[in-house]
Structure 1
Amino acid sequence: MREALAGLGNAELLRTCVRFADASSRENTGGELVLQATRITLGLLAHRISQLSEQIREVDARLARLVESHAPQLLDVVGIGPDTAVTLLITVGDNPGRLDSEASFAALCGVSPVERSSGRRQIRRLNRGGDRQTNAALHRIVFTRLRVVRGLL
């Protein structure tokens, strides 16, 4: 069975395993029992993957509608999709009193430099604080924009 499934892509593998669950009504004995149990398990897992994938698509569509209704200008920026926009909106919505400038937003996200002094030397280091989810969202935006710009050059 392993060799038969090894060459399949993800979509074909999922369809094949779903068919295993549908064909599991036969009862086998002996050496075929392990093979049948494996097929049933793969079929059940494939059904669960299909259900979860559908739920993910529904949540993604809802999030996209929410962003379009509350901050459609975010989706116009290259590198910002619905997931990233939702992360930014959550951060801003949770901290409205703390955001009075770009610098305060940068500090909130953990992307601002922090001044450090050791005697006569003044240095800046990366801010290790801030909202890590928003920091990761900004990271994705930057790298997506860099990839798009390099693709245009």
Structure 2
Amino acid sequence: MSAAPEQVIARHGVVIAVDPHKASWTAVVVTADLAAAAAIRVEVNRAGYRQLRRFAAAWPDARWAIEGAVGLGAPLAQRLREDQIAVIDVPAKLARRVRLLSTGHGRKSDQADALSVGIAAWSAQTLRAVQIDDAIAALRAVTEHRDDMVRARTQLINRLHAVMVKLVPSGLARGLSAEAAAEALRRVRPRDSLGRTLRTIAADLVTELRRLDRRIAEATQTLRDAVTASGTTLTALLGIGDVVAAKMLARTGPVGRFASSAAFASYCGVAPIEVSSGDVVRHRLSRAGDRQLNYALHVMALSQIRYDSPGRSYYQRKRAAGKNHKEAMRCLKRRLTDVVYRTMTNDSVSSPSPAA
């Protein structure tokens, strides 16, 4: 599921604003004067969805606005889109700001949150209409699943290191693999009860590590196949392999929804934010944006610096101008964002429908 080009909310009728949770959906009907006309809370299931639709039937011309329609609100947004009902995505940060600036002193409840979503939908000049893109949604699901398994593998390696250091003097080297751990265990023959117990635990961890390695390899191959099928040329750029390209495609969605490379940079969290005051003009690092895209650009930037490339030359010029490593890296990531945006835009022209 992704967002289409920005859509203006008309100043008439009502907005059915939804605050989604894992187990419940709270909907509030918000009128043009930013008042709540009615509210309902339903469970997240088929019966709850039918109840919500019956509730909304009293306002047949209502527009729907969901907080985080591509996140926690995705299941509801997808059902509504399947029923040919347009859905507006209200960013969680925007709804939170509305609630904090309201006259309710920031009091928090599901109905108050839903009302804030509706007020944000009325007040914001432009918001994005959600569209369903199964290919991108599937690619994102596999990407996130692989990221979860990689994190689990790191935790598993740490546990294995902690056990092996009690069995092998000085422990094992960094970059531990299942094969290296298994080879070390074959040389360990403890005679005491504690040692035998630790060896059994270590053997179980090695078995689990091998299973996790196989699953990560399978997910990586799935991503590789999806990237190849998409026809993207991102992998031709230095520092972008199949996994990073899959992450960029999955997290970006249709690149046409960004009006410019500057808008894309802001979405990635690499566009500096102006914090000028009076005659003092200065910028600070943006903490917003998609952190996964930001990470992908960081990986790309590191590769550009490591090898002889235009990115490395640009980085060295920034360092020569007096910037430290972090500042030069931020400049390079912003420059690389333009390259990525241009590449994805060109790809969309030649192949408008990416496959997964």
TM surpasses 0.5 = yes
* SS of 1:52 mapped into structure 2: helix
1:61 — aligned with what?
221
**Aligned partner (choices 156, 166, 182) of residue 14 of structure 1:** 182
Q: Deviations over 1:15-53 (max 9, x none)?
A: 444x69xx9xxxxxxx63323222211111110011101
Separation in 1, partners of 2:254, 2:203: 43
Moved more, 127-136 or 87-96: 87-96
1:84 — aligned with what?
244
1:138 — aligned with what?
297
Length-normalised TM-score, structure 1: 0.77
* TM superposition shift of 1:101: 1.3
Q: Following superposition, which runs of at least 4 residues in structure 1 exceed 4 angstroms of deviation?
A: none
Alignment of 1:1-153 (within 5 A): 1-3=167-169, 6=171, 10=176, 11-17=179-185, 32-93=192-253, 97=257, 99-149=258-308
Q: How many residues align?
A: 140
* TM superposition shift of 1:131: 0.7
CA contact (8 A) 1:63 1:82 kept: yes
Higher fraction of helix: 1
* TM superposition shift of 1:133: 0.9
* TM superposition shift of 1:8: 7.1
**Aligned residues: CA RMSD:** 2.8
Higher fraction of strand: 2
Separation in 1, partners of 2:206, 2:225: 29
CA contact (8 A) 1:111 1:127 kept: yes
* SS of 2:247 mapped into structure 1: helix
* TM superposition shift of 1:91: 2.1
* SS of 2:302 mapped into structure 1: helix
Separation in 2, partners of 1:48, 1:64: 24
Separation in 2, partners of 1:100, 1:73: 21
* SS of 1:2 mapped into structure 2: coil
Q: Deviations over 1:101-129 (max 9, x none)?
A: 11111010011122222122222222221
Separation in 1, partners of 2:264, 2:172: 49
Separation in 1, partners of 2:220, 2:198: 33
Aligned CA distance change for structure 1 residues 13 and 116 (closer, same or farther; 3 Å): same
Separation in 1, partners of 2:207, 2:197: 15
Aligned CA distance change for structure 1 residues 129 and 33 (closer, same or farther; 3 Å): same
Unaligned runs of 5+ residues in structure 1 are: 24-30
* TM superposition shift of 1:7: 6.0
CA contact (8 A) 1:113 1:126 kept: yes
Separation in 1, partners of 2:274, 2:205: 52
Separation in 2, partners of 1:32, 1:123: 65
Separation in 1, partners of 2:291, 2:173: 37
1:26 — aligned with what?
none
Unaligned runs of 5+ residues in structure 2 are: 1-166, 314-356
* TM superposition shift of 1:95: 7.1
* SS of 2:276 mapped into structure 1: strand
Moved more, 109-118 or 130-139: 109-118
